Amino acid sequence: MARQSDEAFFWMLFSAGGVIAAILIPVHLFLFGLAFPLGWLPAPDYERLMSLVHMPLVRVYLFVFCSLPLFHWAHRFRYTLYDGLKVKHLNEVIFALCYGGAVAGTVLAAYLTWTIA
Amino acid sequence: MRQEIVKAAPAYTEFHPRWYRAPVSVYWWLGQWRYLKFILRELSSLFVASFVVITLLQVRALRNGPEAYSRFQHWLQSPWMIALNLVSFLFVVFHTITWFNLAPRAMPIWVRGKRLPEFLVAAPNYAIWLVASVVIAWFVLR
């Protein structure tokens, strides 16, 4: 289980991920999740997106986009389970699943953004 | 001297008095709008995470080539994904608004001994949100 001193570290990740999610996810979700699939706006084609992804800065951006918000989720979701559903007896399991998931997503994001170009 | 202090300590007993704690229902957050709002705000993180997973799948599809990407686009057009993204969008915007409105309470700013009104502290966040959204949309749509 997290000690008091570790808690600050996890809170920093939570906070940074919260900022990234708040500023960046709505526009991404609106464009790629709603506007393009529903035909409200013309979707960029494969070549166009690949030319974007070839820029190193875009790949760093995608890595951050796919990593920090997962740590935001891990922190919030584990406390929702602890307090909301009162499953305190499973603390260790929940902790491992939440941060395990966030770390797995981060590793996958690093691999994909590293090998895509 | 020290020994005597130790001896003076009360002896260990198995009959520890139990603290009284009022039992709280698992559904404590359903009773009041404030509590429900809190739980909904916390649950927004699930939709944040699910959209990150979708984006990871998008990057993987791009990496796997044009055919994989068109399959990915087709998948996003399915009614279930549209429904999920619609709900996700509402939750994510809820996260953004609650996050920005929390900032002035986490970091109160004082000017000449007076606390700046909350909306003035939160306003730059909304401005950054707007600018970032326009810049990203411009990059993608250009």
High-pLDDT (> 90) share of chain B, % = 61
pLDDT tens per residue, range A80-117:
988 877 777 888 899 999 999 999 999 999 999 999 97
* Of A5-9, B58-62, B85-89, the least confident: A5-9
Assign B87 a pLDDT band (cuts: 50, 70, 90). Answer: very high
Answer whether residue B133 is part of any domain: yes
Q: Is the pLDDT of residue B111 over 80?
A: yes
Domain housing B69: 26-91
CATH number at residue B85: 1.20.1300.10
Residue B35 shares a structural domain with residue B63: yes
With a threshold of 0.90, tell me whether the complex ipTM lies above it. Answer: yes
Tell whether B79 and B119 lie within a shared domain: no
Task: Count how many domains chain B has.
Answer: 2
B128 to chain A: nearest residue by CA? Answer: A23
Residue A14 in this model has a pLDDT that exceeds 90: yes
What percentage of chain A reaches a pLDDT higher than 70? 97
pLDDT of residue A90: 85
Do B86 and B133 sit in the same domain of this protein? no
B136: in domain:
yes
Nearest-angstrom CA–CA distance, A71 and A104? 11
Facing A69 at nearest CB: one of B42, B52, B139:
B52
In a domain, residue B2? The reply is no
What is the end-to-end Cα distance of chain B in Å, rounded? Answer: 83
Query: Structure tokens of A93?
Result: 């399991």
pLDDT of residue B10: 62
pLDDT for B126? 95
- B33 and B77 assigned to the same domain: yes
Establish if B97 belongs to a structural domain: no
In B, residues 66-85, which contact A (CB 8 Å cutoff)? Answer: 66, 69-70, 73, 76-77, 81-82, 85
Tell whether B101 lies on the interface with A, counting CB pairs under 8 A.
Answer: no
Co-location of B30 and B82 in the same domain: yes
Q: Specify if B87 maps to a domain.
A: yes
| Residue B69: per-residue pLDDT | 97
pLDDT band of B113, cuts 50, 70, 90: confident
Query: Confidence band (pLDDT; 50, 70, 90) for B3?
Result: low
Contacts (Cβ under 8 Å, ≥6 apart) of B95? A18, A21, A22, A25, B41, B44, B45, B47, B48
Q: What is the mean pLDDT of residues B72-88?
A: 98
Domains in chain A and their CATH numbers?
4-115 (1.20.1300.10)
Distances from the Cα of A106 to the Cα of A35, A64, A103, B52, angstroms:
27, 9, 5, 10
Tell me, yes or no, whether B20 lies in a domain. no
Residue B16 lies in a domain: no
The verdict on a CB contact (< 8 Å) between B42 and A76 is: yes
Q: Average model confidence (pLDDT) for chain B?
A: 89
Domain co-membership, B71 together with B112: no
Mutate to test the interface with A, among B54, B56, B97 (most CBs of A within 10 A): B56
Between CA B20 and CA B25 the distance in angstroms is 16
- Whether residues B84 and B32 share a domain: the answer is yes
- Do the chains contact at B96 and A44, CB–CB below 8 Å? no
Residues of B within 8 A of A105 (CB-CB) are: 52-53, 56
Residues of chain A contacting residue B42, judged by C-beta atoms under 8 Å apart: 76-77, 79-80, 84
pLDDT at residue B77 tops 70: yes
